[in-house]
Amino acid sequence: MGLFTIDEENLIALFDVSTREKLLAGLEEALPYVYNSEMMEIINRIIGKLKIIDDETYDMFPFDFTAYYDAKND
């Protein structure tokens, strides 16, 4: 499922992804503190995507980044 780009997924990994609402809230809370225009653009793209999908669709995304980090550290 390719809704999020690699850059978006990397940024998402910094937030609580347990629910769509928590991720959305975290991104919206962080936005006023971001001064890099590229980072602002990425956050706004993620927010836009999160607002158009429902919770059922969100739950289908494998936001378990531990497998990536475990493989990288082996």
Using alpha carbons, list the distances in angstroms from residue 30 to 39, 47, 51, 64. 11, 11, 17, 21
The pLDDT score that the predictor gives to residue 36 is 96
Total-model pTM: 0.82
Contact 55, 20 (CB under 8 A): yes
Q: Which residues of the chain have pLDDT under 70?
A: 1, 64-74
